[in-house]
A and B are shown apart, each in its own frame.
Chain A
Amino acid sequence: QVQLQESGPGLVRPSETLSLTCTVSGGSISNYYWSWIRQPPGKGLEWIGYVYYSGSTSYNPSLRSRVSISVDTSKNQFSLELSSVTAADTAVYYCARYYCTSTSCSALDYWGQGTLVTASS
């Protein structure tokens, strides 16, 4: 059974960089797409971006100038960096895996439990 676990600081100061890692266990990170999603307190889900195991990425246009997602296949991990954070970046951050067939990807089938990151001084 594939499991995902987010890790990283729960508190980030405004203007600094938020850094989170997602560790995948019970399966290989290879040959899959992986995603970060966030949810501000009391609000809806927001797609942040994805990374393929090869390193190719795509990002939400509203965050593109501040976000970077990378993958480390040797550690079975992928990571999120979000720079110049403000209070508006306070959210529960989830990592997830895309469900893919041989021809396409259509959903997020495995999710981490989520980690709350607060941007505050």
Chain B
Amino acid sequence: QSALTQPASVSGSPGQSITISCTGTSSDVGAYNYVSWYQQHPGKAPKLMIYAVSNRPSGVSTRFSGSKSGNTASLTISGLQAEDEADYYCMTYTSSNTWVFGGGTNLTVL
């Protein structure tokens, strides 16, 4: 199975909004509402930020939001803060009863 496609890097200034895309196929992202997003700081385990496309776990800032259109899911972070600087990964279920991650996106807060 192929990894979902994410931009290698994105950047933004404090207070701005950024969007990270996650593109798959009609057999994974497009087929199920099971896209999730993870934040990973260096040397740390990933942290769940969004599940089932657009739902936030308890304790996750409302500045984080998710959406999906067709075979592409998106993570939007509004009001960028320095602490948001991290790697972000999407993940989804596939029609083969497996799960697949995106390649990851490094977010830089300028």
Interface set of A (CB-CB < 8 Å, partner B): 35, 37, 44-47, 50, 58-62, 94, 99, 104-109, 111-114
Picked from B1, B45, B101, the residue with its CB within 8 Å of the CB of A111 is B45
Roughly how many angstroms separate A107 CA and B34 CA in the complex, as a whole number?
7
Interface set of B (CB-CB < 8 Å, partner A): 1, 3, 33-34, 36, 38, 40, 45-48, 50-52, 57, 89, 91, 93, 96-104
**Chain A residue at minimal CB-CB distance from B96:** A61
Roughly how many angstroms separate A111 CA and B46 CA in the complex, as a whole number?
7
Picked from A58, A106, A112, the residue with its CB within 8 Å of the CB of B34 is A106
Q: Are A106 and B98 closer than 8 Å at their CB atoms?
A: no
Q: Are A108 and B104 closer than 8 Å at their CB atoms?
A: no
Q: A58-B97, A61-B1, A109-B57 are in contact. Are A45 and B46 (CB under 8 A)?
A: yes
Q: In angstroms, how far is the closest chain A Cβ from the Cβ of B12?
A: 21
Tell me if A's interface is mostly helix, strand, loop or mixed: strand
- 8 extra interchain contacts, Cβ-Cβ under 8 A, other than A60-B1, A60-B98, A94-B45? A44-B101, A44-B102, A46-B101, A59-B98, A62-B1, A99-B48, A105-B93, A106-B93
Picked from A50, A94, A107, the residue with its CB within 8 Å of the CB of B36 is A107
Closest 7 CB pairs of A and B: A107-B36, A107-B51, A44-B104, A111-B45, A106-B52, A106-B34, A45-B101
A-B contact pairs, 9 of them (CB 8 A): A44-B103, A59-B98, A61-B96, A106-B52, A107-B48, A107-B51, A108-B48, A108-B91, A113-B45
Give the chain A neighbours of B50 by CB distance below 8 A.
107
Roughly how many angstroms separate A46 CA and B98 CA in the complex, as a whole number?
12
Q: Are B99 and A47 closer than 8 Å at their CB atoms?
A: yes
Roughly how many angstroms separate A108 CA and B40 CA in the complex, as a whole number?
13
